[in-house]
C-alpha cells in the first residue's frame, strides 16, 4: 500500500493536494452552525448530479414524450420515484443551503477582504445555479413549466431594440416549443453543470488560498505559533470532516422527511399545476415561479408606471448622498449624472423594462457587497445596532417578498411588494453610510 | 376550448372534505371497478398499466390470480395486462361529441386534490342551457355529462347573490331519486376518489414505508457520527 502511494505520488501530487486542502488546511476552531452549509452545498451538488444522471437515462426531451417520460420514471422505472423526488426536493434543498451559506457571509463579513474573489466566484455559482434550476424546471413539460418559462423569457422582450430578437434567440422559436425544450435540456444536463463544477472548484481553491473566515471575523493567520501553524487553527481533516459528517446526517434526516413524506411540500416544492401537461391554450390561474425565485419575481412585478415616482426619489436620494460624501470629482459627476439618466429613463421607457432591470440589479447587487460594506469590523458580533437592524429588516423583507411573489399582485399585496422592493435596495444602497458610522465593539486578538 | 380554462369556476361552492386511506384495499378495488366501468370509456389513465393495478390492489392474495382477475374483468379497452390504461373512445370522436377531448385522469388527484374530485363527482345538476343538459357547481360549464345520474338521481341547483351581487351556490334539491341512497352514492364516490389518489402516485405507500427505514438508519448513524466527532474533538480547546 505504502509503495503504491509512493509510486502514484512520484507521478501525481496526491499527498500535496491531500495536505493542502484537508490534512494541513488549518481552519479556525470556532466554526459554528452557520459553517456547515458550505460542505452541505457540495453534498447537494453531488446528489443533484447523481440523481440527474439517472433521470437522464429515462427522460425524453421531446414535447410529445417529456411529460409521459417523467411519469414513466415515477411508475415503471425501479426506484424511479426516489430518484425523481431526490432531484426535485434536492433542487429546493440546494437553494435553502445556498441562501443560508450566503446569509453566513452577511453575518460574519466573509465577503470582506481578502475574500472578495471567494465571494464573487460564489455569486457566479449562485447565478449559474439559478439558470440551472430555471432551465431544469421546463423539462417535466408540465403546464407551469411551460407558462413559467413563457413569462420569464418574454421579459427579455422589454429590452429596447434588441429585446424581441433576443427572446426569440433564447427560445429558438417564436414560442416555447420543442426547440426550447431541447436546448434547455442541453444546457441543464451538460453546459451549466460543467460550469458549476469548475466554479465550485475555483471557489474552494480561492478560499484555501486566503483561509476561512470565522464567527469572530479575525484573521487566524495573524497569530501563528513557532511551527508556522495558526494558533487558533485546526486541521480540516479529521476535525471538520468528522464534524461535517454529523451535519450531513442531520441534513439528510430533514431532506428525507420531505422526500419520503411530503415531496410536494404542499405545492411549494412541486406545484400542483405542473401535474397537468403543458397546454398552450390553458393558462394556469396564477403563474408563479418556484419559491426560490419569488423574491425577485416580486421586485419585477412591483415596477408599475405609478411606482416610477418612488424609484426616482430613491435614486435621487442615493445620488445626493454620494455627491456630498464623495471626495473624488469623477465620483461626484457620476453621482449627479446617473440618477438624472435613470429618472429620464423611468419616464421614457416602459415600466416593464425597469421591472426587468430591477430584478437583475436585485441579484447582481450582491456582487458589490465587499465594497459596499465599510465597517472596520467584519463580524456581526462586534458591530453596532445599525447593521444588526438593517440585516434583520433585510431578511424579513426578503422572506415577505418571497411570499408576495406567490400571490396575485393586487391591492395591499402590491403595495407591500413595492415598499419591500425599496427596503431591499435601501439595504445595499445605504450600506456604505450606515456600516461606516455604526458604533463597533473592540475585536479580540484571538478567536473566542 | 375555453370550456376548460374556467375550470374550478368560482361560484363559492365549498369543497367537501374526504378521508383518504390507501391501506383500504377494498375501497381501492371498488374505486378501480367504477373507474374502468364508467370513466375509462371516455377518459384515459395513460401513464398507468393494468398489471401495476393488479399488483398493488391485490384482487387476490396470489399475484398471478390478481392479474387474471384484472385481465378478465377490467381489460375492456386493451389487449394485454401490461398495456397502458388508454380510453376506449378515440380522441377524435371525443372531440366531435363533447367539443373537447376528455382529459387524462392519471394525475387528477395531484392536480386538483381529493376534496375537489369528491365534491365534483357529487355536484352535477340539470341545466337546460348547457349542451349536455348538465352542469357542475365545482366546474362551471363543464363539457362532461353526469355519467352516474342513474346512481345519484337528478338534482337541481339553487343559487343566491352575495353582497357584491355575484351568483353563489346555495343548495341542491333532488328532483328524481337514483338507484342508490345518498349515503351509498357518497361512499362509492369516496372509493373512486380514494382510487384517484392511488392512481396519481402508485408508489406512495412504498415511499412512506421506505421513508421510516431511512429515518431509522439515519437516526442510528447520527448517534455513531456524533460520538465519533466527540472523540476527535476532545483535544480541541
A33: burial class by Cβ within 10 Å (0-12, 13-18, 19+)?
exposed
Grid coordinates belonging to A140: 417535466
Q: Is residue B156 part of a domain?
A: yes
Cβ contact (<8 Å) for B208 and A273? no
Domain containing residue B16: 2-202
Interval A350-400: pLDDT, tens: 999 999 999 999 999 999 999 999 999 999 999 999 999 999 999 999 999
Of B111, B219, B225, Cβ closest to residue A246: B225
Model confidence band, residue B8 (pLDDT cutoffs 50, 70, 90):
very low
Give pLDDT, residue B163: 85
Q: Is any Cβ of chain A less than 8 angstroms from the Cβ of B219?
A: yes
Cell 347573490 -> residue = B161
Q: How many CA atoms lie within 13 A of A259 on its CB side?
A: 26
Do β-strands B45-49 and A233-235 pair in parallel, antiparallel, or remain unpaired? unpaired
Interval B32-90: pLDDT, tens: 999 999 999 899 999 999 999 999 999 999 999 999 999 999 988 788 999 999 988 88
- Give the span between the Cα atoms of A379 and A372, in whole angstroms: 15
Q: Under a CB-based contact definition with an 8 Å cutoff, are residues A416 and A400 in contact?
A: yes
**Alpha-helix runs per DSSP H in A237-350:** 241-261, 294-302, 308-325, 329-348
CA distance A266 to chain B (A): 11
Q: Indicate if the pLDDT at residue B213 is higher than 70.
A: yes
Q: How many CA atoms lie within 13 A of A78 on its CB side?
A: 0
Q: Is residue B191 part of a domain?
A: yes
Q: Is residue B57 part of a domain?
A: yes
Mean pLDDT taken over chain B = 91
Which residues of chain A have a Cβ shorter than 8 Å from any chain B Cβ?
Answer: 29, 68, 71-72, 74-76, 81-82, 85, 234, 238-239, 242-243, 245-246, 249-250, 252-253, 256-257, 259-261, 263-264, 272-273, 275-276, 281-283, 285
Interval A67-86: pLDDT, tens: 999 999 999 999 999 999 99
State the DSSP code for A440. Answer: -
CA distance B9 to chain A (A): 11
Interval A154-173: pLDDT, tens: 999 989 999 999 999 999 99
Q: Indicate if the pLDDT at residue B4 is higher than 90.
A: no
Q: Is any Cβ of chain A less than 8 angstroms from the Cβ of B223?
A: no
Give pLDDT, residue A311: 97
Q: Indicate if the pLDDT at residue B5 is higher than 70.
A: no
Q: How many CA atoms lie within 13 A of B179 on its CB side?
A: 5
What is the rounded average pLDDT of the residues A2-15? 95
Cell 390561474 -> residue = A285
Tell which B residues from 90 to 129 touch A, by Cβ distance under 8 Å: 103, 106-107, 110-113
**Under 8 Å CB-to-CB from B4, ≥6 apart: which residues?**
A281, A282, B100, B103
Closest by alpha carbon to A302, among A248, A356, A231? A356
State the DSSP code for A273. Answer: G
Q: How many CA atoms lie within 13 A of A310 on its CB side?
A: 17
Give pLDDT, residue B10: 52
Grid coordinates belonging to A427: 439595504
Q: Choose from B50, B109, B201, B216 for mutation: most chain A CBs within 10 A.
A: B201
Closest by alpha carbon to A145, among A173, A176, A189, A174? A176
- Give the span between the Cα atoms of A93 and A87, in whole angstroms: 10
Beta strands in B129-202 (DSSP E): 134-136, 153-161, 167-177
Give pLDDT, residue B89: 81
- Give the span between the Cα atoms of A26 and B229, in whole angstroms: 17
A315 or B131: which leads in pLDDT: A315
CA distances from A115 to A109, A446, B48 (A): 9, 19, 54
All structural domains of chain A, each given as residue ranges with its CATH number in brackets, are 16-269+278-284 (1.20.810.10), 288-448 (1.20.810.10)
Q: Under a CB-based contact definition with an 8 Å cutoff, are residues A335 and A322 in contact?
A: yes
Q: Indicate if the pLDDT at residue A133 is higher than 70.
A: yes
CA distance B178 to chain A (A): 33
Tell which B residues from 182 to 211 touch A, by Cβ distance under 8 Å: 200-203, 207-208, 210-211
CA distance B207 to chain A (A): 6
Model confidence band, residue B11 (pLDDT cutoffs 50, 70, 90):
low
Cβ contact (<8 Å) for B215 and A260? yes
State the DSSP code for A238. Answer: I
Grid coordinates belonging to A247: 451535519
- Give the span between the Cα atoms of A262 and A269, in whole angstroms: 9
**Alpha-helix runs per DSSP H in A19-65:** 37-58
Q: Under a CB-based contact definition with an 8 Å cutoff, are residues B179 and B100 in contact?
A: no
Model confidence band, residue A306 (pLDDT cutoffs 50, 70, 90):
very high
What is the rounded average pLDDT of the residues A188-195? 98
Q: Is residue B16 part of a domain?
A: yes
Q: Is residue B232 part of a domain?
A: no
Cβ contact (<8 Å) for A256 and B113? no
Give pLDDT, residue B97: 82
- Give the span between the Cα atoms of A218 and A428, in whole angstroms: 24
Give pLDDT, residue B96: 81
Q: Is residue B219 part of a domain?
A: no
Q: Under a CB-based contact definition with an 8 Å cutoff, are residues A49 and A41 in contact?
A: no
Cβ contact (<8 Å) for A29 and B207? no
Largest Cα separation within chain B, whole Å, is 84
Chain centre to alpha carbon of residue A39: 16
Could you tell me the end-to-end alpha-carbon distance of chain B, in angstroms, rounded to an integer?
71
Q: Under a CB-based contact definition with an 8 Å cutoff, are residues A227 and A33 in contact?
A: no
Closest by alpha carbon to A394, among A376, A372, A410? A372
Nearest residue on chain A to B232, judged by CA atoms? A239
What is the rounded average pLDDT of the residues B200-206? 97
Cβ contact (<8 Å) for A260 and B211? yes
Residues of A in contact with B216 (CB under 8 A): none
Of A234, A238, A256, Cβ closest to residue B218: A256
Q: Under a CB-based contact definition with an 8 Å cutoff, are residues B48 and B85 in contact?
A: yes
Q: Indicate if the pLDDT at residue A241 is higher than 80.
A: yes
Nearest residue on chain B to A279, judged by CA atoms? B5
Interval A23-54: pLDDT, tens: 999 999 999 999 999 999 999 999 999 999 99
Q: Indicate if the pLDDT at residue B3 is higher than 80.
A: no
How many domains does chain B contain in total? 1
CATH of the domain at B126: 1.10.760.10
- Give the span between the Cα atoms of A373 and A1, in whole angstroms: 51
Nearest residue on chain B to A250, judged by CA atoms? B222
Grid coordinates belonging to A4: 503504491
Q: Is residue B86 part of a domain?
A: yes
Axis crossing angle, helix B204-233 with helix A80-108, rounded to the nearest 10: 40
**Alpha-helix runs per DSSP H in A59-115:** 66-75, 80-108
- Give the span between the Cα atoms of A317 and A294, in whole angstroms: 28
Residues of A in contact with B215 (CB under 8 A): 253, 256-257, 260
What is the rounded average pLDDT of the residues A432-443? 96
- Give the span between the Cα atoms of A19 and A26, in whole angstroms: 10
Q: Under a CB-based contact definition with an 8 Å cutoff, are residues A122 and A102 in contact?
A: yes
Chain centre to alpha carbon of residue A413: 25
- Give the span between the Cα atoms of A396 and A291, in whole angstroms: 15
Nearest residue on chain B to A86, judged by CA atoms? B207
Q: Which residues pair with A26 in a beta bridge?
A: A235
Residues of A in contact with B1 (CB under 8 A): 281-282
Q: Under a CB-based contact definition with an 8 Å cutoff, are residues A351 and A308 in contact?
A: yes
Cell 486541521 -> residue = A235
How high is the ipTM of this complex?
0.92
Mean pLDDT taken over chain A = 96
Give pLDDT, residue B7: 40
CA distances from B14 to A246, B120, B190 (A): 47, 11, 17
Q: Is residue B227 part of a domain?
A: no
Do β-strands B134-136 and B124-126 pair in parallel, antiparallel, or remain unpaired? antiparallel
CA distances from B121 to A311, A372, B114, B190 (A): 51, 60, 11, 9
CB atoms within 10 A of CB A349: 14
Give pLDDT, residue B78: 82
Model confidence band, residue B13 (pLDDT cutoffs 50, 70, 90):
confident
What is the rounded average pLDDT of the residues A266-292? 93
What's phi and psi for A370, nearest 5 deg?
-55, -25
- Give the span between the Cα atoms of A155 and A152, in whole angstroms: 5
Model confidence band, residue A117 (pLDDT cutoffs 50, 70, 90):
very high
Model confidence band, residue B2 (pLDDT cutoffs 50, 70, 90):
very low
Interval A389-402: pLDDT, tens: 999 999 999 999 99
Amino acid at each position: 500500500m505504502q509503495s503504491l502511494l509512493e509510486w502514484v505520488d512520484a507521478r501525481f501530487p496526491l499527498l500535496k493536494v491531500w495536505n493542502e486542502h484537508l490534512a494541513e488546511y488549518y481552519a479556525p476552531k470556532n466554526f459554528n452552525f452557520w459553517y456547515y452549509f458550505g460542505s452541505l452545498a457540495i453534498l447537494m451538488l453531488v446528489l443533484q448530479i447523481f440523481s440527474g444522471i439517472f433521470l437522464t437515462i429515462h427522460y425524453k426531451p421531446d414535447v410529445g414524450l417529456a411529460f409521459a417520460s417523467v411519469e414513466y420514471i415515477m411508475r415503471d422505472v425501479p426506484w424511479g420515484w426516489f430518484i425523481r423526488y431526490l432531484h426535485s426536493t434536492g433542487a429546493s434543498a440546494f437553494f435553502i443551503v445556498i441562501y443560508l451559506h450566503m446569509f453566513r457571509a452577511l453575518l460574519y463579513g466573509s465577503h470582506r477582504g481578502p475574500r472578495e474573489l471567494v465571494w464573487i466566484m460564489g455569486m457566479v455559482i449562485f447565478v449559474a445555479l439559478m439558470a440551472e434550476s430555471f432551465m431544469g424546471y421546463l423539462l417535466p413539460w408540465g403546464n407551469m413549466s411551460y407558462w413559467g418559462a413563457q413569462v420569464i423569457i418574454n421579459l427579455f422582450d422589454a429590452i429596447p431594440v434588441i429585446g424581441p430578437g433576443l427572446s426569440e434567440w433564447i427560445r429558438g422559436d417564436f414560442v416555447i416549443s420543442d426547440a426550447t425544450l431541447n436546448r434547455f435540456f442541453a444546457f441543464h444536463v451538460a453546459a451549466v453543470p460543467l460550469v458549476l463544477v469548475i466554479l465550485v472548484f475555483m471557489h474552494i481553491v480561492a478560499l484555501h488560498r486566503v483561509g476561512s473566515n470565522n464567527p469572530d471575523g479575525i484573521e487566524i493567520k495573524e497569530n501563528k505559533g513557532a511551527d508556522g501553524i495558526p494558533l487558533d487553527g485546526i486541521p480540516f481533516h479529521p476535525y471538520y470532516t468528522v464534524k461535517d459528517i454529523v451535519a450531513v446526517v442531520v441534513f439528510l434526516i430533514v431532506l428525507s422527511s420531505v422526500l419520503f413524506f411530503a415531496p410536494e411540500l404542499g405545492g411549494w416544492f412541486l406545484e400542483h399545476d405542473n401535474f397537468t401537461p403543458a397546454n398552450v391554450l390553458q393558462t394556469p390561474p396564477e403563474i408563479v415561479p418556484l419559491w426560490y425565485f419569488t423574491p425577485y419575481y416580486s421586485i419585477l412585478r412591483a415596477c408599475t408606471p405609478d411606482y416610477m415616482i418612488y424609484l426616482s426619489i430613491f435614486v435621487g436620494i442615493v445620488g445626493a448622498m454620494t455627491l456630498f460624501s464623495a471626495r473624488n470629482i469623477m465620483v461626484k459627476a457620476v453621482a449627479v449624472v446617473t440618477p438624472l439618466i435613470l429618472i429620464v429613463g423611468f419616464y421614457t421607457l416602459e415600466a416593464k423594462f425597469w421591472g426587468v432591470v430591477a430584478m437583475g440589479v436585485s441579484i447582481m447587487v450582491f456582487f458589490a457587497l465587499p465594497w459596499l460594506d465599510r465597517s472596520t469590523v467584519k463580524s456581526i458580533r462586534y458591530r453596532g445596532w445599525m447593521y444588526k437592524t438593517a440585516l434583520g429588516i433585510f431578511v424579513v423583507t426578503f422572506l415577505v417578498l418571497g411570499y408576495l411573489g406567490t400571490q396575485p399582485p393586487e391591492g395591499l399585496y402590491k403595495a407591500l411588494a413595492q415598499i419591500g422592493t425599496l427596503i431591499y435596495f435601501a439595504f445595499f444602497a445605504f450600506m456604505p453610510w450606515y456600516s461606516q458610522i455604526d458604533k463597533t465593539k473592540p475585536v479580540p486578538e484571538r478567536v473566542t | 376550448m375555453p370550456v376548460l380554462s374556467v375550470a374550478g369556476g368560482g361560484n363559492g361552492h365549498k369543497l367537501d372534505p374526504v378521508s383518504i386511506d390507501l391501506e383500504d384495499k377494498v375501497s381501492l378495488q371498488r374505486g378501480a371497478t367504477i373507474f374502468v366501468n364508467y370513466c375509462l370509456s371516455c377518459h384515459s389513465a395513460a401513464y398507468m398499466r393494468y398489471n401495476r393495478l393488479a399488483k398493488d390492489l391485490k384482487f387476490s392474495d396470489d399475484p398471478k390470480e390478481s392479474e387474471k382477475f384484472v385481465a378478465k374483468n377490467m381489460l375492456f379497452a386493451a389487449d394485454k395486462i401490461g398495456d397502458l390504461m388508454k380510453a376506449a373512445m378515440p380522441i377524435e370522436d371525443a372531440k366531435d361529441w363533447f367539443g373537447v377531448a376528455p382529459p387524462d385522469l392519471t394525475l387528477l388527484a395531484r392536480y386538483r386534490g381529493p376534496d375537489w374530485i369528491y365534491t365534483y363527482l357529487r355536484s352535477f345538476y340539470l341545466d337546460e342551457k348547457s349542451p349536455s343538459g348538465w352542469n357542475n357547481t365545482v366546474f362551471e360549464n363543464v363539457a362532461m355529462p353526469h355519467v352516474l345520474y342513474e346512481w345519484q338521481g337528478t338534482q337541481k341547483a339553487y343559487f343566491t347573490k352575495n353582497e357584491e351581487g355575484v351568483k353563489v351556490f346555495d343548495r341542491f334539491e333532488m328532483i328524481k331519486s337514483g338507484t342508490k341512497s345518498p349515503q351509498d352514492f357518497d361512499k362509492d364516490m369516496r372509493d373512486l376518489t380514494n382510487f384517484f389518489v392511488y392512481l396519481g402516485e402508485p408508489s406512495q405507500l412504498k415511499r412512506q414505508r421506505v421513508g421510516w427505514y431511512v429515518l431509522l438508519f439515519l437516526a442510528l448513524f447520527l448517534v455513531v457520527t456524533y460520538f465519533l466527532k466527540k472523540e476527535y474533538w476532545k483535544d480541541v480547546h
